[in-house]
Amino acid sequence: MSFLQRLLHGPSKSPFLTPPSPHYSTSYSYCSKQESSHPQTRPYPPLTQQQLSNLNHLLPRLLSQPDHLPTALRLTSAALHTTTPLHALPLSPLIHSLTSHPDTSPTFSLLTRLRHAPQIHHHISPIALMLLTSYFNNRMCKPALAVFRWLRRPDSPSPPTRQVYEVVIEGLCRNGFMFEGLSAARDMVVAGELVAPCGSLREWIYRGMLKEARVEDAVELNNAILRFEKCGGSDDEEECKERVLAVLERVIARWNE
């Protein structure tokens, strides 16, 4: 937290806006390991309006210089350790920078920082959702899939929510990654996150399968999901969900035949 205080209370010409010294590592993995070895165990008070103003001014300046991206990540991580509401923090410039980066190392540096700080695990899902949405908007499906798979790891402190599944499935189907989209839909059903109504989700899957000329499979799966929607809240709901899963399993199994 002293790192955050130095930056937000320091002079306008912050030393962190000058080139890093040889003794300061810009390695993303290094930063994550250093912070994870000294996890914070208590929340800090929210940032003041002046601190938020300074943060809004400083973060974009750091992000405009590639060498300072690790510093921007440290600054954001420190801010997330406060009880400041997530919507009050200037995360949009950071998300844009991360999802425009040529590789995913900075993205996973941020996620790893969150993973190693149990008291801020609740930030993982909304931040991952921002990352996924931005990646898909940029038609960067492979990095988005990497984030999704990170969330699905057995040791994940924040498994995918219904909203995450919906964004992932829509993004994959919209961008022609139908096999991966169907696999994500199956995972969603298995995780118990398929909840009626699922109209837009069903439509994206249906349209994507038609583009792949999987007409019979598209109709069968669409009908199974429609039936599930109609079963919502009834005694047949679980049976209808099992039907959706069975159709998905069958379609996925013969996708590459």
C-alpha neighbours within 13 Å on the C-beta side of residue 5: 5
SS3 82: strand
- Cis before 197 (ω within 30): yes
pLDDT at 198: 83
Of the candidates 209, 194, 201, the one whose C-alpha atom is nearest the C-alpha of residue 255 is 209
Residue 4 pLDDT grade (very low, low, confident, very high; cuts 50, 70, 90): low
Q: Give the HSE-up count for residue 205: Cα atoms under 13 Å, Cβ half-sphere.
A: 33
For 112-130, write each residue's pLDDT tens digit.
Answer: 999 999 999 999 999 999 9
- pLDDT 10s digits, 77-126: 999 999 999 999 999 999 999 999 989 999 999 999 999 999 999 999 99
